Structure 1
Amino acid sequence: MRALVTGGASGLGLALTKALLAQGDLVVVGDLAESRPESVPGDAAYLTLDVRSERDWEAARDWVDREWGRLDLLVNNAGIATGGRIDVETTEDWQRVLDINLMGVVRGCRTFTPIFKRQRDGHIVNVASLAGFIHGPGMSSYNATKAAVVAVSETLGFELDPWGIKVSVVCPSFFRTNLHESMRGTDTAMESTAIGLITQAPFTAAEIATAVLHGIEAGDAVIVPDDIAVSMVAMKRTDPEAYAVWGRDGAARLARRELGG
């Protein structure tokens, strides 16, 4: 299998890269650095790929055509963490997370769908988050981008099915990674909360990557790779009152912090 993984030099992207290589697949990593990061395994190829750049996406497509002639798996993994109350987070913060977390996925899908259609096969995997389904307070921009990635993935799953193209969306809860290093928003109170959730999470990126590969192999349209995510999604679906209590409790804690209580 030939795979392109965006954001593949760290975090879940790196864990997925290592897992794919371990099962004998060919992998090209796309990430921001102009020169190959030391973290990228030696048996993976590397491309500079800013998911905000149409030119970088075109260069990635040209590399795939030239070097491989086809692509089997596109993993739109690159993303940033953000958080902010609606009256604190700036419109510039919103624009940044939308451009990376949502439009980065859209650009990747638009770039490689013609290749997948030409092949009449392929698999697109879009990494969203539990936040695509569970919308906690103080995270409007992040929740919005991840919910949109879920919607785009479901739409494309139907749209591309006639060409034999599979589409999956990945929705993990928090896991230990360097994602918090991407946070540059104006709501520092929310950022500190998010940093704690990421750095103290019970799961590693490698554990999530293993579950994701199982979901890819099974052809799952929605991959919920950890027990916390599974239980939260189930609570929202089967016990909406408990879900509402969870959301209101979180909002109350946030309000107390804002009021200094």
Structure 2
Amino acid sequence: MKDLAGRIAVITGGGTGMGRELARQLVAEGCHVAMCDVSAAAMAETRRLCEADGLPQGLRMTTHIADVSDEAQILRFREEVAAAHETDKVHLLFNNAGIGGGGSMILNTRDEWERTFNICWGGVYYGTRAFLPMLRNADKGHIVNTSSVNGFWASVGPHVPHTAYCAAEFAVKGFTEALMTDLRLNAPHIKCSVVMPGHIGTSIAANSSKMHSGSESGALGERQVAQARAQMALAGRDTTGLSDDDIRRHVAERAQRFLTEAPTTAAAAAKIILDGVKAERWRILVGDDAHRIDELVRQAPEQAYEADFFQDLAAQVGWRVGR
């Protein structure tokens, strides 16, 4: 599918980050887009940006509210797409939605852990299940599942537990690799790719706070503040003199730095993804840091979770290591 004009693409998590930029670039190529997100306001901004870029004549772009961790909502999303686009087929499925959080089996609650896992992994599974019939109805199809470098390296450093997100992204990677054979045997006109970004400039940190706090502002409640305080202590920072509001400011500042200090923008990431889809690459690493992490983990898998490994890696890929 080197020419995307006239095709129909479905994007989960289209309200911000890579999902938003995928929508903008697909629309610019004349591809019809149906996106879902939990935030109507975020999707409205994505649509506004696409319209500002210039929507091609006759192109359909639709927005739908859906929580990808809920299969019933994904099935409703599919039916809305079929009705809004007057079709029984789609050509591209970007299972892109994801959040962080719930990193510790000990410090975090089971609800927080499973919320992260069920969005990052469940969203891919439910999305693929729901839209596979429409992909099979098309002459060509491509499933694009967003994992992460944390799908082959389960760490963000020796002082930060990251179990929920990493477990989900390993599942996404393994599922996509296994799906290749399944599709080749049973639906050979459909391809699939696993996307593994490094540090990309998105709002995932801020959005994750909103999802876990249940607040549109993302303000941390008492339990989240206590967890953040405990994480900072594990990293060696003395928090005894910090108020709860100090902790909240610290978390918000980290989220802002994650967005602004990333070596790869969301727009650059979206272009790499679409170039990979057009080239029918099943494994799409996004960012120079992702490529370097892949090399280092392969070279020394037994040392991949040691503190020295992380310090060396961070220095090589240009990550800022802070507490």
Whether 2:32 is the aligned partner of 1:26: answer yes
TM alignment of 1:123-134, pairs within 5 A: 123-134=142-153
Confirm whether residue 112 of structure 1 aligns to residue 131 of structure 2.
yes
Q: What percent identity do the matched residue pairs reach?
A: 31
TM-score (norm 1): 0.86
User: Distance between the aligned counterparts of 2:135 and 2:46, measured in 1?
Assistant: 29
Higher relative contact order by CA 8 Å / sep ≥ 6: 1 or 2? 1
CA contact (8 A) 1:132 1:150 kept: yes
Shift of 1:70: 1.2
Q: How far apart in 1 are the matches of 2:175 and 2:134? A: 19
Shift of the alpha carbon at 1:15? 0.5
**Cα deviation, residue 233, structure 1:** 0.6
Q: Deviations over 1:133-184 (max 9, x none)?
A: 1111411111111111111111212111231211111100111111111233
Contact 2:102 2:109 in 1 (8 A): no
Cα distance in 1 between the residues matched to 2:289 and 2:269: 12
1:111 deviation in Å? 0.3
Q: Following TM superposition, by how much is the alpha carbon of 1:120 offset from its aligned partner in structure 2, in angstroms?
A: 6.0
Evaluate the alpha carbon distance shift between residue 249 and residue 225 of structure 1 in structure 2; reply closer, same or farther with a 3 A threshold: closer
Asked if 1:171 corresponds to 2:200, the answer is no
| Higher mean C-alpha displacement, 5-14 vs 118-127 | 118-127
Q: Tell me the amino acid that sits aligned with residue 59 of structure 1.
A: R
Q: 2:171, 2:304 → 1: CA distance? A: 21
Matches within 5 A, 1:80-229: 80-82=99-101, 84-119=103-138, 121-136=140-155, 137=158, 138-162=161-185, 163-164=187-188, 165-184=190-209, 186=224, 187-188=227-228, 189=231, 192=251, 195=255, 196-229=257-290
Mapped to 2, the partners of 1:74 and 1:249 lie a distance apart of 34
- Asked whether the equivalents of residues 73 and 124 of structure 1 are also in contact (C-alpha less than 8 Å), the reply is yes
Count of residues in Structure 1 that have an aligned counterpart in Structure 2: 251
Q: Confirm or deny that 1:9 pairs with 2:32.
A: no
Task: Decide which structure has the larger Cα Rg and report it.
Answer: 2
Aligned to 2:111, the other structure's residue is in SS state helix
- CA RMSD, aligned part only? 2.5
Report the CA distance between 1:119 and its aligned residue.
3.6
Q: Which runs of 5+ in 1 are unaligned?
A: 251-260
Partner of 2:66: 49
TM-score scaled by length of structure 2: 0.71
Give the match's secondary structure for 1:223: strand
Distance verdict in 2 for CA 1:53–1:101, change over 3 Å: same
Separation in structure 2 between the aligned mates of residue 194 and residue 91 of structure 1, nearest angstrom? 24
